[in-house]
Structure 1
Amino acid sequence: MKKKLKKFLRGGAAALAALMLAHAALAKEAAPLAEDPAVEQRMVKITEELRCLVCQNESLAGSQADLAKDLREEVRGLIKAGKSDDEVREFLVSRYGDFVLYRPQVKPVTYLLWGGPFLLLIAGIVALVRYLRRRNRQLTETPLSEEERQRAEALLKDNRP
């Protein structure tokens, strides 16, 4: 009995060690520290306003996609070259279009994008009001005719004990 228990514990310890080693293999390499914290801070500020073109629902600052890493390096290089924040954004928009911006500029091409949610909200409210008015008209009580009232009374009298 003791031999079986020892064998079981050894196997369990081996399995636990294998799991721990496998978990350690999943660890990622630490991100390199910034050479210049001011450049890094500007890079993070700018990339938080830009969309990852691979993930599309993440900012460039938070994405781990290879393209996002490359674009962060590109932004870092532009900042080191002395470009302003607006110049960096304009450079990326010229390469990737307005889609790269989380907050696209208001211009004729994006009017529907900016106004669309409000138009849909107004259309929804109008549709709801029309539906409720139509429903209220249908639910208004119409008085029973004399014949219908007599028939209802007769049916009710038949069902009483």
Structure 2
Amino acid sequence: MTTPPPFPLPDDAELLRLDHQICFSLNAAARAFGGVYRDALKDLGLTYPQYLAMLVLWEEPDPQPVKAIGERLRLDSGTLSPLLKRLEGAGLVARERSAEDERSVVVRLTEAGEALREQALPVPRRIVTATGLSLEEALTLRALLERLTGNLDAAQGGG
């Protein structure tokens, strides 16, 4: 037995309203997250995309190919390369040619990049607090968004 939704389901014409667009709600939430992350990352000297790249490197501190980082972040090399160059300029990462494949560039954390991880530890809880959701609700939302992303990737032949 299915529980009815807590609100009436809109008809097709009603679904054309902006406030019924899932993509608009996600975009608005992403923009709001951007502001909260800007404040949370200010003291670290990182932008949100730089923070994401650092998260990938903190998870796996061995040198990682730029291509693998891009795949993990869903960023193309035209976006990722300047981002990594700025992190390198800040002394947080080093980029070098792979010893195994001269055509591949790998990225590794510097000592400063490794040390920044400790300063970043409070960021995730600060973000969850800003959402007004419990940690359980935030994790449930993340799981739903991952499922949504997988479904959308599959719908366009990318999953």
Larger Rg: 1
For normalisation by structure 1, the TM-score amounts to: 0.22
Higher RCO by CA contacts (8 Å cutoff, separation 6 or greater): 2
For normalisation by structure 2, the TM-score amounts to: 0.22
Instruction: Name the structure where strand makes up a greater proportion of residues.
Output: 2
